[in-house]
Structure 1
Amino acid sequence: ILAAAKERGQLVFLEGLKSCLDLLFGEEEHVPPHISLFDFVRVSLTPADGDSWKGPVLLVDDLSVLLSLGAAPVAVLDFIHYCRVSVCCQLKGNVVVLVHSNEDSEDEENELVVNSLCHHSDLILWAEGLATGFCKDVHGQVRLSLRQAAEQDLVQIYQYKIQDRNVTFFARGLSAAVL
């Protein structure tokens, strides 16, 4: 699916880590690194003459890498804020961000970024292992939290099983092993 979208010009793949090193450790010292990275993304999302993006989606995989490279949490959050303004408000698209989190984590900077992103997100998809441990028929669960203005979040939990080139989702307690 992604290869076909790339061939039709619907997908632009940005080698973020490769470009990120140049941007974060480049020679332009008067421009903050997160601004340079945002400019790189913004220019890459600008449609060519005559073309127009209809609801572009910016996938950031994996935001934790910026923290690992030494970026401050505030700079990482600024970068995402700029991307959201550009993609969501100006281009009428969406931003999807992957971050890794662990309840036992002692990485305060990462947890600050995760908590801030959760606070500013409309939809949170949280994948995790089973609380009961390993099971051959259920590999984990996904919690979807849909933020609703002035109301309590709508939370749905599904379990999943990873198969060859596929993932099967089902309601809790309805795996093939149980039925």
Structure 2
Amino acid sequence: MNRTRNLLDEALDLNNDNKGSRVVVIEDCVETSGAFVIHHLIKRNLSLPSSLIVFVAFSQPFSHYERILRKLGCNLVMQRENGRFHFLDMLSMQCPDGEEDKLCEGGLVSLYGKIQKAVEVSSSTEGNKNSVTIMIDDISLMEVAANGSSNHALDFLHYCLTLTSDFGCTLVILSHEDVYSNMEKPMLMLQMEYLADVLIKAEPLATGLATDVHGQVSLLIYFLTVVNRGRYEKGSLKTKTSNFQFKIRDNNVECFYPGSQT
């Protein structure tokens, strides 16, 4: 494994054998996608024995992820057939209007039931409560699917949090921060940031987008901040903030410290 990949793993504290559940929140914007972190975590988790991913897709279809992960050397079709990658396609999901407190039948409640069942089955068969990761590729689109109901999305988020505490799952959430650029941060985003053990922000460079030219290929350089609130050092829980830049290549993402490359 090369140094580039280790840099992100170290910031996420993936190389340590930490026990217990974690909540990882990824915030990006139109100018800078943070989806590469999702792709990285999918490949890494599926490379581990006895692991399971329950992927909730509000943003992209299975073919999108299958194509990207194939470039990274991971066969999602095979992993899905083996029961290690559960893909829940929610792109066409809609919830009816209404002021009822309960979520709509066939909507988020049904979705949670599928996630819960997959987690419970994995826990009973594998005997390893730390092996399940729940991923949501765009929780801001969940609000759209629920006709703008932040309460529904919040309820769903808290239901998933009960799975992390009960079964030791990891919850990974991607959200587009600039969806709310014209308003104060909504309760959903504030709750996610508050609950996050690891908060990741992908942003354009403050001085504008720089370019790294290799022959005829021009690569845009972006900025990544990883705030790890659940890092154990010398027996105590500490917060570590990592700042570095990254550029996206055709089949990988290269992370590096500012000033380390020209």
1:156 paired residue among 233, 242, 252: 242
2:159 paired residue among 51, 75, 82: 82
Question: Which has the bigger relative contact order, CA under 8 A and spacing at least 6?
Answer: 2
What SS class does the counterpart of residue 98 from structure 1 fall into? strand
Q: What is the 5 A alignment of 1:66-77?
A: 66-69=142-145, 70-77=147-154
1:62–1:97 Cα contact (<8 Å) kept: yes
| Counterpart Cα distance in 1 of 2:246 and 2:188 | 27
* Residue 146 (str. 1) matches residue 228 (str. 2): yes
**1:128 corresponding residue in structure 2:** 203
Calculate percent identity across the aligned residue pairs.
23
| Counterpart Cα distance in 2 of 1:129 and 1:171 | 15
Q: Which has the higher mean CA deviation after the structures are superposed, 111-120 or 48-57?
A: 48-57
1:67–1:73 Cα contact (<8 Å) kept: yes
| Counterpart Cα distance in 1 of 2:127 and 2:173 | 20
Shift of 1:39: 2.1
Shift of 1:48: 6.9
Q: Which runs of 4+ in 1 moved over 6 A?
A: 149-152
Shift of 1:160: 0.3
| Counterpart Cα distance in 2 of 1:61 and 1:53 | 27
- TM-score in terms of structure 2 length: 0.56
Shift of 1:166: 0.8
Shift of 1:174: 1.3
Across the two proteins, how many residue pairs are aligned to each other? 169
Structure 2 gap ranges (5+)? 1-73, 213-219
2:143–2:152 Cα contact (<8 Å) kept: no
Q: Which has the higher mean CA deviation after the structures are superposed, 140-149 or 9-18?
A: 140-149
* Residue 11 (str. 1) matches residue 85 (str. 2): yes
Shift of 1:30: 8.5
- TM-score in terms of structure 1 length: 0.79
2:227–2:241 Cα contact (<8 Å) kept: yes
| Counterpart Cα distance in 2 of 1:61 and 1:51 | 27
CA gap 1:133/1:85 in 2 versus in 1, 3 angstroms: same
CA gap 1:172/1:91 in 2 versus in 1, 3 angstroms: same
Q: What is the 5 A alignment of 1:1-179?
A: 1=74, 3=76, 4-18=78-92, 20-21=93-94, 24-25=95-96, 31-33=102-104, 34-47=108-121, 51-52=125-126, 54=128, 55-69=131-145, 70-86=147-163, 88-102=164-178, 105-108=181-184, 111-137=186-212, 138-148=220-230, 153-175=239-261, 178=262
| Counterpart Cα distance in 1 of 2:227 and 2:138 | 20
CA gap 1:162/1:9 in 2 versus in 1, 3 angstroms: same
What SS class does the counterpart of residue 64 from structure 1 fall into? helix
| Counterpart Cα distance in 2 of 1:99 and 1:60 | 9
| Counterpart Cα distance in 1 of 2:260 and 2:179 | 27
| Counterpart Cα distance in 2 of 1:36 and 1:10 | 21
| Counterpart Cα distance in 1 of 2:123 and 2:168 | 18
CA gap 1:74/1:31 in 2 versus in 1, 3 angstroms: closer
Shift of 1:2: 5.0
Q: Which has the higher mean CA deviation after the structures are superposed, 98-107 or 136-145?
A: 98-107
Q: Which has the higher mean CA deviation after the structures are superposed, 157-166 or 73-82?
A: 73-82
What SS class does the counterpart of residue 173 from structure 2 fall into? strand
